[in-house]
């Protein structure tokens, strides 16, 4: 906004604009913290999980338990009094992990505040990576931009005051990792103040012949961004293309793949209709709905498209040697006595079965040495 336009708008309008921009900065940067340092244990430090062999001796099997969870980790004044619940999230995940009942992998979103970072670190997973950082730049080409002029009064000021808020925690070693933000103009409204994007981690499971590709993302919100529906829809469509490009750049198609996160597509057929065709992955909700005899649904699903009732989704894709398929889904931190509500999202938990020929296990590389690429 130039000086001439500010003068014409008048002091009242200018002051109102400044107040709204200041509020936008506070909502995103208040209580913010840097992303946690990576934890990268070596393969020899990781106990081998139990692997079962089929009665005919031909097939090996292992379960991989994955949770995606938006922990509502915004700082003050966007949220108040979150420290206790965020700490409890970490404490409960740690207790479940130590008891052998926790997820093997947790995909966290909205890890913005210091308390949120502490909660994620407090879960105690041996391997942990996070990103994009507040200052990360996109290495891949942009796939478009939100059309029209920036709306300064909605937070589109061209600066990032928070990280992408993403983390991947794993009981298994992380061999490779990389975070990638969405391009600078692929956002709308308040979401532009955080460096949203995606993070990739390749985990090595002792005894499994190939590693597993993991991706975690958090995409542009709708009403919460305070931008117009047309701008938030356009930004989401660009982000869908940029997430697909990142996955295509990082993913080895020979390895089994899991994608999860908060995709902000609840109730939006327009968003979902653009997003799904860009992904070479299978939606867990759809698979479990279509093959109920192979996937136990331990949560309430309504209608014939339950994926439209949630922001939190998981996808998967088998590899060349190692197959992967969901065998059970359930909610977590959803209000049951043993799983209290600790965020404005429930956790979405999927147990996958990995399977591969025993001959492939004998000739596979097994657990690879850690070789991080950075975030």
Asked if 214 contacts 177 with a C-beta cutoff of 8 angstroms, the reply is: no
Query: pLDDT for 77-112, tens place per residue?
Result: 567 779 999 999 999 999 999 999 999 999 999 999
* % residues pLDDT > 90 (the chain): 73
In whole numbers, what is the pLDDT of the chain averaged over residues? Answer: 87
Q: Higher pLDDT residue, 360 or 113? A: 113
* pLDDT of residue 232 exceeding 60: yes
Q: Where are the domains of the chain?
A: 3-363
Query: pLDDT for 320-349, tens place per residue?
Result: 999 999 999 999 999 999 999 999 999 999
pLDDT (0 to 100) of residue 45: 84
Residue 130's pLDDT band (cuts 50, 70, 90): very high
Query: pLDDT for 22-32, tens place per residue?
Result: 444 444 444 45
Asked if 372 contacts 38 with a C-beta cutoff of 8 angstroms, the reply is: yes
Cα(345)–Cα(101) distance, integer angstroms: 21
Cα(259)–Cα(200) distance, integer angstroms: 9
What residue ranges in the chain does DSSP mark as E strands? 52-53, 59-73, 105-111, 127-131, 166-170, 174-181, 197-203, 212-218, 257-262, 282-283, 296-297, 312-317, 323-332, 347-357
Query: pLDDT for 141-162, tens place per residue?
Result: 999 988 877 665 565 676 777 8
* pLDDT of residue 225 exceeding 60: yes
What superfamily does domain 3-363 belong to in CATH? Endonuclease/exonuclease/phosphatase (3.60.10.10)
What is the full DSSP assignment across 96-109?
HHHTT-S-SEEEEE
What is the full DSSP assignment across 256-317?
-EEEEEE---TT-HHHHHHHHHH--SEEHHHHHHH-TTTSEE-S---SS-GGGG-SEEEEEE
């Amino acid at each position: 906004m130039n000086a001439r336009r500010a003068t014409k708008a008048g002091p009242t309008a200018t002051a109102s604009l400044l107040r709204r921009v200041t509020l936008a900065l506070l909502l995103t940067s208040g209580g913010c913290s840097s992303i946690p340092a990576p934890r990268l244990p070596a393969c020899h430090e990781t106990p081998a999980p139990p692997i079962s062999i089929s009665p005919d001796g031909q097939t090996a099997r292992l379960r991989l338990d994955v949770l995606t969870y938006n922990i509502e980790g915004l700082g003050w004044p966007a949220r108040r009094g979150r420290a206790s619940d965020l700490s409890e999230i970490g404490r409960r995940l740690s207790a479940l992990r130590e008891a052998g009942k926790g997820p093997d992998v947790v995909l966290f979103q909205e890890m913005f505040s210091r308390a949120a970072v502490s909660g994620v670190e407090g879960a105690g997973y041996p391997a942990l990576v996070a990103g994009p950082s507040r200052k990360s730049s996109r290495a891949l080409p942009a796939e478009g931009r939100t059309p029209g002029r920036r709306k300064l009064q909605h937070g589109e000021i061209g600066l990032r005051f928070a990280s992408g808020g993403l983390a991947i925690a794993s009981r298994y070693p992380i061999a490779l990792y990389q975070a990638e933000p969405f391009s600078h103009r692929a956002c709308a409204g308040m979401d532009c103040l955080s460096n949203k994007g995606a993070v990739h981690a390749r985990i090595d499971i002792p005894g499994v012949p190939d590693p597993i590709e993991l991706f975690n993302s958090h995409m542009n919100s709708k009403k919460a961004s305070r931008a117009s529906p047309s701008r938030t829809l356009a930004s989401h469509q660009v982000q869908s293309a940029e997430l697909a490009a990142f996955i295509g750049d990082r993913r080895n198609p020979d390895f089994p793949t899991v994608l999860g996160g908060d995709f902000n597509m609840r109730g939006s057929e327009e968003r979902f209709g653009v997003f799904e065709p860009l992904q070479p992955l299978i939606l867990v909700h759809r698979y479990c709905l279509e093959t109920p005899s192979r996937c136990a649904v331990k949560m309430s699903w309504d209608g014939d498209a339950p994926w439209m009732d949630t922001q939190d989704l998981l996808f998967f894709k088998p590899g060349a040697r190692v197959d992967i398929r969901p065998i059970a889904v359930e909610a977590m931190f959803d209000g049951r006595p043993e799983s209290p509500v600790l965020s404005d999202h429930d956790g979405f938990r999927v147990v996958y079965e990995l399977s591969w020929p025993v001959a492939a296990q004998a000739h596979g590389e097994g657990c690879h040495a850690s070789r991080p690429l950075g975030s």
